[in-house]
Chain A
Amino acid sequence: MNVEFKNVNKHFGNVHANKNINLTIPSGSIQGILGENGAGKSTLMKVLSGFIHADSGSEILLDGKSVIMNSPADAIKHGIGMLHQDPLDFPPMKILDNFLLGMPSSFFPNRKEATQDFNLLATEYGFSLDPENYVDSLTVGERQQLEIMRLLFLGVRLFILDEPTTGISTAQKEKLFATLRKFPEQAMTVIFVSHKLEDVESLCDRVAVLRAGELVGELTPPYQTKKFVEMMFGKEVTLGERQSAPVGETVLSLNDVSLEDARLKIKNINVEIREGEVIGLAGMEGSGQNLFMRACAGLVRPVGGKIQLKGQDLSGKSYHVFKKNGVSFLPAARLEEALVPGLTLTDHFVLAEEPRGIFIDRVAGQTLAEERIKSFNIRGAPLSPVESLSGGNQQRAELALLQNPLSLILLEHPTRGLDIESVIYIWGKLKERCKQNASIIFMSSDLEEILQYSDRVLVFFSGKISQPMNANKTSVEELGELIGGKGWAEIGGEHA
């Protein structure tokens, strides 16, 4: 399917989110759309997928014909389907029901026939999904596969993928890319929206770059990363040199710690983490990193062994005791677990302070908020509710909420879904904390990030945990194999 944007404009109040976009996407190609958070990528895609109307005068042509789409369902009728960043599916329902829902069928859907169709399609694309299983037991990557199958079955010819590689493992990403590469052979078109350079570079035939609502230009292979970055930010951005931290005293030590939950058991963890050190946790989602991290935060009680913080035995103590001793935990679900939606930035800063009496000092709170907003470069006002901030700014706000001093900072996916500028900013702030002798443990599905920022790496694979590996002496390839379960004998890090 050939897609053409002609003079597409979109205003939200005073904000001009899309400025006169003109772009042609040829049939059977994989088109990348690159831009930092807030560049207007999502708006453009929402226009194309029928979620919102563009301003009048804008035109969208499909195979040369001008179309008007009033709803996403309408767009699907035109053959346009979108994979949303948070999968729009129904977790407590069965996979088959998810597949059937919204499918044109008879009044009593024939479940047997649908199961056959489903399995046929799954085999064709090499997905292993059991239609009788529930969606809430799937990983994000598998939920994407389910959505792709559903859209294929609906006859979609143009796939829009919005940041699809966020929150999925490397192996699943490869699988997804392999699937997408098959589409152009069948004259299907793919629009791949991302802020991740490496993904766009490895997948796309052509890449359009958006900045501040405008189409800055288009690039074709061979790609030059430098050029992309320049176009995205209008200036050069560098990651900076890897910095190794000095080896200080032991902050956290785990002795023969065993952890378990309903799905997983990890036995005999022995790790020591030193002052100023950054530890990266690698592994596919649900391989035990979360359990490990939550045990270090005091949120999960170990079934055996000893957790010591600066020589003090904290095993079996509650989260509050850990917190009092200088441990801070920043969960991945920012609005669900970390911040309080509905409360403003000022409210958050006031709540995080030591209470002084029962009344809130509004003036002091306001000053405090202004100061933190400035020093953490948060795009928001003291009275902005946290949910109105972008992901990157929410993450900055979380960092601004951390107490000082801290001995240990635990971060789940600290830069997930953020553009490169925010990533660099956030790591700059975190490294500052290391210089003040805090240790950091973080998990990420981005192996490059793990190698770039950690001193040592722990790899998780279905409840197994490796010995700490020196980040200088390993590589993305080695880590990739380990998290996939290969090469464990060589490193000798096997327990249990």
Chain B
Amino acid sequence: MTQETILIGLAGILAASAPIVFAVLGETLSERAGVINLSMNGTILLSAMGGFAVAYTTNNIVLGFLAGMLIGALVALIVAFASITLNQSQVAVGFVLALTCRDLSYFLGNPYMGVPGPRLQAIPIPVLSDIPILGALFFRQDAITYTSFMAIILTWVWIYRTRPGLMLQGIGEKPAAAYIRGANVNLMRYVYTVIGGALIGLAGPAFSLASRAGWMGTISGLDGFGWIALSITIFGGWNPARAAFGAYLFGFLQWLGLVLQPVLTQVPSQVLQVAPFPLMILTLLLVNIGNAEWVERTLAAMPESTRKFFAKLLRAMRASPPAALGVPFERD
């Protein structure tokens, strides 16, 4: 394999992972505020179909993306209303929505099955795209992939470096403490769930108008990505940068499966196709290894300096969910 094919492959991973990146970022925002948006798998399918249908009908690709975001925001609004205002179980509502939206997308998407529609083209960025290696990786992508890069940076900066972002962390962690610090907890939960939903809704058209252009109904192969994105959010420890890394890791594992298929002919192709999923679980376990008691014991037995180093490393790796995730907030 030449260097160029590898570069093209890696650049392809970045583009193919863009939808998952949007989905995990959206879910991260929502869960940071304390609301689990379990509808993600259905939302992605419905926004993929809706985005494609709008772009096809209006022949305007930007409108397609906006439609996707609108669909995602609306579904999220249902989740928020049911859980925050009606005090219903987020898991139950989200799960039902996941199934409903998926079937709705197959049903409503019938007229658009297999029609050739618009597709986003790559826009190499002048000057930057000529940088060796980095240029080929990052600067010869399409607009939605660039947007995904920006979204990672923006959400990270928002959560960790801005005043409202700090409050967002507080709301998901201990709403009562955020409330005495002046937060309107339930309003903010609405806002972040809907914004998160809009980001998740961007994942659909990022498939159907870019990396997997077109709408193929049940054989679109988009079913399941939402669930993976949900687990990557956990893997990412509710940190946008780590979550994005998880999304790319998953993309890489999938690509590896494709590349290795012709080489490892004795391995059934199904194994390679399925391998990324268990591998994701394995990574998840490794990341959260610091929580296990035996690790604590091993650490205690180490010499002081080594122990400190590993303790710090594990502390940085460890991800604990926002403590108030899924817990309704009631003003005392």
Contact = CB atoms under 8 A, between A and B. Distances in A.
B300 A108 contact: no
A484 B179 CA distance: 37
Nearest to A104: B163
Contacts of A91: 173, 323
A101 B299 CA distance: 33
Contact of B170 (A82, A101, A108): A101
B320 A92 contact: yes
B181 A107 contact: no
Interface in B156-210: 161-164, 166-167, 169-170, 173-174, 176-183
B176 A97 contact: no
B166 A72 contact: no
Given A72-B180, A102-B181, A90 B300 contact: no
Nearest to A77: B182
Nearest to B157: A108
Given A72-B179, A73-B182, A261-B300, A109 B174 contact: no
Contacts of B161: 108-109
A129 interface: no
Nearest to A262: B296
Contacts of A101: 166-167, 169-170, 178, 181
Contacts of A263: 300
Contact of A90 (B173, B182, B315): B173
Contacts of A265: 300
Interface in A221-277: 260-263, 265
Contacts of B167: 101-102
Given A72-B179, A72-B180, A108 B162 contact: yes
B166 A92 contact: no
Interface in A276-321: none
B179 A262 contact: no
B320 A73 contact: no
Interface in A36-57: 46, 51-52
Nearest to A87: B177
A82 B177 CA distance: 11
A102 B300 contact: no
B296 A102 contact: no
B332 A51 contact: yes
A88 B169 CA distance: 14
Given A260-B300, A262-B299, A90 B162 contact: no
A46 B332 contact: yes
Interface string A102-113: 100111110000
Contacts of A105: 163
Given A46-B332, A51-B332, A90 B177 contact: yes
B180 A90 contact: no
A90 B170 CA distance: 7
A100 interface: yes
Interface magnitude class on chain A: 20 to 34
A97 B169 contact: yes
A265 B176 CA distance: 37
A92 B170 contact: no
A302 to B, nearest CB: 13
Interface in B305-332: 311, 315, 320, 323, 331-332
A93 interface: yes
Nearest to B319: A92
A20 interface: no
A92 B176 CA distance: 15
A89 B180 CA distance: 10
Contact of B183 (A46, A52, A102, A262): A102
A71 interface: yes
Contacts of A262: 296-297, 299-300, 311
A239 to B, nearest CB: 35
A52 B174 CA distance: 19
A483 B161 CA distance: 42
Contacts of A109: 161-163, 166
B173 A52 contact: no
Interface string B280-311: 00000000000000001101100000000001
A90 B176 contact: no
B299 A92 contact: no
A102 B170 contact: yes
Nearest to B176: A88
Given A102-B167, A109-B166, A261-B300, A88 B323 contact: no
A15 to B, nearest CB: 15
Contacts of B180: 72-73, 76, 82, 88, 102
With a 10 A CB-CB cut-off, give which of A72, A82, A100, A105 has the most chain B CB atoms.
A72
B129 to A, nearest CB: 31
A106 B162 CA distance: 8
A412 B328 CA distance: 31
A161 to B, nearest CB: 15
A263 B320 CA distance: 20
B182 A102 contact: yes
A355 to B, nearest CB: 30
A52 B320 CA distance: 32
A377 to B, nearest CB: 28
Contacts of A107: 162-164
A106 B163 contact: yes
A88 B183 CA distance: 14
A134 B176 CA distance: 19
A93 B323 CA distance: 11
B296 A261 contact: yes
A73 B181 contact: yes
B278 to A, nearest CB: 29
B108 to A, nearest CB: 41
With a 10 A CB-CB cut-off, give which of B162, B180, B323, B331 has the most chain A CB atoms.
B180
A350 to B, nearest CB: 27
Contacts of B297: 260-262
A76 B225 CA distance: 46
B61 to A, nearest CB: 33
A46 B178 CA distance: 16
Contacts of B163: 100, 105-109
Interface of B: 161-164, 166-167, 169-170, 173-174, 176-183, 296-297, 299-300, 311, 315, 320, 323, 331-332
Given A82-B180, A109-B162, A262-B300, 16 more contacts: A73-B180, A88-B174, A92-B320, A93-B170, A100-B166, A101-B170, A101-B178, A106-B163, A107-B164, A109-B166, A260-B300, A261-B300, A262-B296, A262-B297, A262-B311, A265-B300
5 contacts: A88-B180, A92-B320, A93-B169, A101-B178, A260-B297
Ranked nearest first, the 4 interchain pairs of A and B with the lowest CB-CB distance are A102-B181, A73-B182, A88-B177, A72-B180
